[in-house]
Chain A
Amino acid sequence: MRENQGLNTTMSEEVEGTRTAEEKQEMEDTVISPEKAEEAKLKARYPNLAAKPGGSDLLRKRLQKGPKYFDSGDYNMAKAKMKNKQLPSAPTEKTEITGGHIPTPQDLPQRKTSIVASKLAG
């Protein structure tokens, strides 16, 4: 973000002028664009975040919304591939696509409750 101030003293006047202008621009960005300040916050928290947020990763996650249930075929194939390795645990970071996760029996969500009348009609 902020460049090393110490270098300024050894730079020529011309470059010094440029650098100060750049810093000024950054400061202006923070003031004018709260979005960019938020972006900086996010990148500080998640350094591995992909550069292109609207890219196909995010969209494909969106296309595949909904919980993936336990599938014994997937599970056994994944087990065979992994051999000694552990199965990947449920991803918690924003970077991973949940589609890659093979559910295990422990991940099974609770059964839905039985269908009753809407409380709006009560």
Chain B
Amino acid sequence: AGGGNSDVQWCFSQVKGAIDDDVAEADIISTVEFNHSGELLATGDKGGRVVIFQQEPESKNQPQCRGEYNVYSTFQSHEPEFDYLKSLEIEEKINKIRWLPQKNAAQFLLSTNDKTIKLWKISERDKRPEGYNLKEEDGRYRDLNTVTTLRVPVFRPMDLMVEASPRRVFSNAHTYHINSISVNSDCETYLSADDLRINLWNLEINDRSFNIVDIKPTNMEELTEVITAAEFHPNQCNTFVYSSSKGTIRLCDMRASALCDQHAKQFEEPEDPNNRSFFSEIISSISDVKFSHSGRYMMTRDYLSVKIWDLNMESRPVETYQVHEYLRSKLCSLYENDCIFDKFECCWNGNDSVVMTGSYNNFFRMFDRGYRQDVTLEASRENSKPRSVLKPRKVSTGGKRKKDEISVDSLDFNKKILHTAWHPLDNIIAVATTNNLYIFQEKLN
């Protein structure tokens, strides 16, 4: 399961969210994340809300598809705040959600906005105590004069209730905007990264954090780059990476020193100086970095491409995949409408054989590393008949446009897929358009 090969066909499974085109800003999906078993799928939105879906167990009636995802829990994670000192609003938008590995019956996740990280506990309650001596079932106290017998309260089954409660609030540690959180493989610590600094936290301690990276120059006029993403290595608890707006990735070893300003490795692809333009640095800015499950590779996403790096080789990526190269001749307009600053994420499939990332016009791309094949698919309501197979899409770049192709100028740049997630074990993917969540599954015969 989870393998990538040229025969995989993707089918529409479900779509969540409103159909109408009038999208409220709060409904814009800002993060999507499966938990470690893939049973739960969390989304965060611009309104500070988290919605968690749970996969139904596979039904014997429908062996040709895996379980559907239905709402399990929803809660308001963050609320808008105001920084009075700077007269700036602190957005409630959820930038990232990261699940903790499950240790007991409850589930835990970290959710963060620009300034504050919260640890949420999601637990099930399926029984309640009944038969109190001093209270009625609705909670009112009984008149003691009416109590004539004594009984032992018992637990009785009740309808499942899923409760989310904030267990820790990690605040006031970031001057700049948090872009990443990452749970360490030690399951005790996690890191949070903003534009200029990275902090290390203990999950149990919320009033203290250690600063482990600080790239703020003494004189802000000398600022040349910002941190764009950071992640812990999946199994080496001392190792983490962070990417920058200049297209470099630095790998740090926390055993080397308390402050990891000196990187252990720096990954950067040399640039051809003849090709340098006004846009070069902007499009080289890395918007996402993700380790492979194996921990041997990492993937970066910049504006036009996805690159796979071998951790043993800093000089250049081992693989480069063009996401939408046809946009290179549109950079002027993309700069004017700010699309050039869009931050696309990327993800690996369960066995690291296929990678996926989003694009415009609600297109998303998959690159099969082994078979050297790529495909463009679309998340749209038109292709949302249950179990209908997704047809590959193609953007025509030359003068001649074939029948089913779409020309670059017809692409809708307001329909961007920034967030995608791949089930850790199976070929199930979650793709977020602006305000809808699509779930696609592999066609099973």
Residues of A bordering B, CB below 8 Å = 33-39, 41-43, 45, 49, 53-56, 58-60, 62-71, 74, 94, 112-113, 115-122
Contacts and interface: CB of A to CB of B under 8 A. Distances in A.
Contacts of B195: 62-63
A35 B279 contact: yes
Nearest to A33: B275
Interface stretch (B83-91, B198-206, B363-371, B383-391): B83-91
B76 A65 contact: no
Contacts of B176: 63
Contact of B27 (A56, A64, A118): A118
B145 interface: no
B87 A68 contact: yes
Contact of B280 (A35, A66, A94): A35
Contacts of A115: 26, 47-49, 76, 79
B221 A35 contact: no
Contact of B245 (A54, A60, A121): A54
A33 to B, nearest CB: 6
Interface of B: 16-18, 24, 26-27, 29, 43, 45, 47-49, 51, 71, 74, 76, 79-80, 82, 86-91, 114, 176-177, 195-196, 220-226, 245-246, 275, 277-282, 328-332, 335-336, 435, 437
Contacts of A42: 278, 331-332, 335-336
Contacts of B16: 120
B329 A38 contact: yes
Given A66-B89, A68-B87, A56 B328 contact: no
Given A63-B176, A70-B87, 20 more contacts: A39-B332, A42-B278, A49-B278, A54-B246, A54-B281, A58-B282, A60-B220, A60-B223, A65-B177, A66-B89, A66-B90, A68-B88, A71-B87, A112-B80, A115-B49, A118-B45, A118-B51, A120-B27, A120-B51, A122-B17
A116 B435 CA distance: 15
15 contacts: A34-B329, A35-B279, A36-B275, A38-B279, A38-B330, A54-B225, A54-B282, A56-B223, A56-B224, A59-B223, A59-B224, A71-B87, A112-B80, A115-B26, A118-B45
B80 A56 contact: no
B80 A33 contact: no
A118 B4 CA distance: 34
Contacts of A112: 80
B277 A39 contact: yes
B27 A35 contact: no
Contact of A38 (B17, B43, B220, B277): B277
B281 A66 contact: no
A102 to B, nearest CB: 10
Nearest to A75: B87
A59 B244 CA distance: 12
A37 B88 contact: no
A50 B374 CA distance: 38
B87 A36 contact: no
A54 B245 CA distance: 9
A119 B27 contact: yes
B244 to A, nearest CB: 11
Contacts of B18: 119, 122
B91 A66 contact: yes
A26 to B, nearest CB: 12
Contacts of A34: 328-329, 331
A72 B18 CA distance: 40
Which of A60, A67, A120: most chain B Cβ within 10 A? A120
A119 B23 CA distance: 10
